[in-house]
Structure 1
């Protein structure tokens, strides 16, 4: 990796943590300068503005999450085990989230809805990708006769994703991981009702 590419990645990584902890509106260019240790010119040589940094930082954060999900699901054979492994990525969301500040998707979805619309399309795309991925796991479970064919994979997939996100929000708010655990157990209970 060339020096310029390393610098750009450094800005993206540091900014992803900042945006996830302080929000897009709450993070200033000075915060990014302070976190990266670069000059203003060093930042602007790589990005035209904060919006550009925010979009790349969100995409980077999504990549970090996908790598955590892939690692958690490695070696899991059943669809149920894969879904529960995904949920386990946030089992200690209070003290040890995959990215400091909580779930970047949840944080971005909330903020982009009203105060940072520039990134809303990216949040929508990330939601659609995650929902499609979960639906794919559920459809694989149906094809392998693990789940009954009458499962509405869009509805169940949406419930799984939103239950995990809601559990993350409640756990971080209350500083108690039990809410992620509750969500995970309810997801498991629902999926067991579809078992063949």
Structure 2
């Protein structure tokens, strides 16, 4: 059974993750965290040394939820092409029903962090690397199984798939219309058929 202190810490992380993913790290204040959690500033600082520490834990939390949703969606697919498309399909209704409140945590953190937040930037880079590695493994399996052409550039395709996903998410969120991510799903589907051998 989880102790009260651990419950409180998780509550702070979960609520802060939603806040940061919707408003951004820089635009979110400690006062908003105390208001959302119902925990006073002193209580927050009993669990975290700084806002940066909360942000890192919050990103890890949001990222783990989205990663789980994506991996579940990928695991339900049979072909490498469908596994890659599953990444985008998770965000098919990003405006109304994203896998985590506020959209893609990796995209949100990456667009916000700069040289002023090296720790958060490093965490975003780790998220980028992990996502690309998962995509590259899927593509490599597709080549190995004979689904994809053997001369396919694995790194270039992984970058293209991730860019299609994040670009579609960003444009759809900005416009308040899912058409951009949906067009990218269709375009990527056509492209993947062109590099498939079967």
TM-score under structure 1 normalisation?
A: 0.96
Question: Over aligned residue pairs, what C-alpha RMSD do you find?
Answer: 1.1
Could you list the structure 1 runs, at least 4 aligned residues long, displaced by more than 4 angstroms after superposition. Answer: none
The count of corresponding residues between Structure 1 and Structure 2 is: 196
List per-residue Cα deviations over 1:78-115 (Å, max 9, x = no partner). 11111112211100000111111111111100110255
Q: Is the 8 A contact 1:72 1:89 kept in 2?
A: yes
C-alpha contact (below 8 Å) 2:142/2:148 kept by paired residues: yes
Distance 2:75 2:137 in 1: 16
1:39: how far off?
1.3
Residue in 2 that maps onto 1:37: 38
Gaps of 5+ in 1: none
Whether the 8 Å contact between 2:87 and 2:165 is mirrored in structure 1 is no
CA distance in structure 1 between the partners assigned to 2:104 and 2:117 by the alignment: 17
Q: Give the C-alpha shift of residue 11 in structure 1.
A: 0.6
Could you list the runs of 5+ residues in structure 2 that have no partner in the other structure? none
CA distance in 1, matches of 2:193, 2:117: 39
* Segment drifting more, 186-195 vs 18-27: 186-195
Q: What TM-score do the two structures reach when normalised by structure 2?
A: 0.95
CA distance, structure 2, for counterparts of residue 25 and residue 117 of structure 1: 14
**Contact 1:24–1:116 under 8 Å retained in 2:** no
